[in-house]
């Protein structure tokens, strides 16, 4: 199985990089895992609605450029469906069983995802209504992907 996370922006915090590196190493036993960063669009603090949409479209085009047609794509979105760890594990296992061995998760920029990206995805995932920094969300998502594999392997890690 190939799992990829496409994210907008660069990761700067050393402690987050270390955490992600640890889970990436652990995931290597179960899948090919990678994180692909696309540039965030520079924008002033105060944007009009039209300017916000334009920023999302530029970032969205960069995201879509990193996704192939065969990939099953999840978008992280606050209005997406919340899942338990067990439900996500079950979904990933079923996808692998039924021919979707290339799975991609998208974490958008600070303004969210463009309509074009949202039309491309098969499913939207929410980690709740909290607002979390995008950089921290990378670590949380990476850990949840690892947890999914551990649940499916029957490991006591999940307890």
Summarize pLDDT for 22-51 with one digit per residue, the tens: 999 999 999 999 999 999 998 888 889 999
Distance spanning both ends of the chain, measured CA to CA: 24
- Please report whether residue 47 resides in a domain: no
Is 159 inside a domain boundary? Answer: no
> pTM of the entire structure?
0.95
Strand order, beta sheet including 102-107:
32-38, 2-8, 102-107, 72-82, 123-126
Domain limits at 148?
A: 2-41+52-152
* Number of domains composing the chain: 1
CA distance 1 to 33: 9
Distance CA(111)–CA(106), nearest Å, equals 14
Asked if residue 116 belongs to a domain, the reply is: yes
Q: Is 47 annotated as a binding residue?
A: no
> Residue 30 falls within a domain, yes or no?
yes
In a domain, 46, yes or no: no
For 106, the 3-state DSSP assignment is strand
Residue 157 lies in a domain: no
Instruction: Quote the percentage of the chain above a pLDDT of 90.
Output: 86
CATH classification of the domain holding 30: 3.40.1280.10
- Tell me if 10 is assigned to some domain: yes
Q: Give 83-122 pLDDT, tens digit per residue.
A: 999 999 999 999 999 999 999 999 999 899 999 999 999 9
111 known member of a binding site: no
Is residue 26 in some structural domain? yes
Closest CA to 100 of 31, 52, 146, 53: 31
């Amino acid at each position: 199985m190939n799992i990829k996370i496409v994210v907008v922006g660069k990761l700067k915090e050393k402690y987050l990089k270390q955490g992600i590196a640890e889970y990436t190493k652990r995931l290597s036993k179960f899948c090919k895992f990678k994180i692909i960063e696309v540039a965030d669009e520079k924008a002033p603090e105060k944007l009009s609605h039209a300017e916000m949409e334009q920023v999302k479209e530029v970032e969205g085009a960069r995201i879509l450029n990193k996704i192939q047609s065969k990939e099953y794509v999840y978008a992280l979105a606050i209005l997406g469906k919340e899942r338990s760890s067990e439900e996500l594990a079950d979904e990933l296992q079923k996808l692998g069983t039924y021919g979707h061995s290339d799975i991609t998760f998208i974490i958008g920029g600070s303004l969210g995802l463009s309509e074009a990206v949202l039309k491309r995805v098969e499913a939207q995932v929410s980690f709740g209504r909290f607002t979390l920094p995008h950089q921290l969300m990378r670590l949380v998502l990476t850990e949840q992907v690892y947890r999914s594999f551990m649940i499916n392997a029957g490991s006591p890690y999940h307890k």
